[in-house]
Structure 1
Amino acid sequence: MNEHLQICARSKMTSKGQTTVPREIRDALGLAEGVQIEWVVNQADGTATIKPRTLRAVDLAGFLGPSPVGPVSIEQMNEGIAEAVAERFARAVKR
């Protein structure tokens, strides 16, 4: 049995092009405040599809800006992480 559940809801657009996503739609898509949504318009039939935009690792490339020390190897990253964990542990033990 292959059922397709459809949820229909309506909302108005303001003069600024804004609209409220109805609760039924937010709930069905798992949308929460701050979540980006992606609009896909099929110009052939005039339909629009919206879906939550999930970040991929590639979307974060360059997010923090250039590395202050230049490129580093995986081994160097692992060493840095290990040092940070050891420092954090030492601070926690002193409390």
Structure 2
Amino acid sequence: MASATMTSRGRVTVPLHIRNLLGLATGDRVEFVLNEETGRYEVVPVTHSVTALKGIIRKPAKPVSIGDMNTAIGGQEASSYRAGIE
């Protein structure tokens, strides 16, 4: 059985073997899910498919042309340059 120690700041390092089994990498998120049958918490990797993102941003009312996008990008660069931001 793998084990870990909690630090005074509430941090726990997930053992390498467990990270590999869960497919976790640096920056990944995990959820702690209560298993109501056992009364124990389970560590579950937070994964969402790309299709779950569909519909979170509405289509613009008016289509934007590539020229309009380039103009907007060019305008931001010019204003950033004038403000002394690089």
Instruction: Return the TM-score normalized by structure 1.
Output: 0.50
Residues 13-46 of structure 1, C-alpha deviations (whole Å, 9 max, x = no match): 1222210000110011111011111211235633
| Unpaired runs of at least 5, structure 2 | 67-86
Q: Secondary structure at the match of 2:42?
A: strand
- RMSD of the alignment, in Å? 2.9
71 and 32 in structure 1: CA distance in 2 versus 1, 3 angstrom threshold: farther
Candidates 9, 18, 22, aligned match of 2:11 = 18
Shift of residue 60, structure 1, vs aligned partner? 6.1
C-alpha change, 1:28 and 1:14, in structure 2 (3 Å) is same
Alignment match, 1:32: 25
Q: CA deviation at 1:59?
A: 4.5
- State the number of aligned residues: 64
Q: State percent identity of aligned pairs.
A: 33
Output aligned runs, 1:1-95, within 5 Å. Answer: 8-42=1-35, 45-56=38-49, 57-59=51-53, 61-62=55-56, 67=59, 69-70=60-61
Segments of structure 1 that go 5 or more residues without pairing to the other structure are 1-7, 73-79, 84-95
CA 1:46–1:12 in structure 2 vs 1: closer, same or farther (change >3 Å)?
Answer: farther
- Counterpart in 2 of 1:92? none
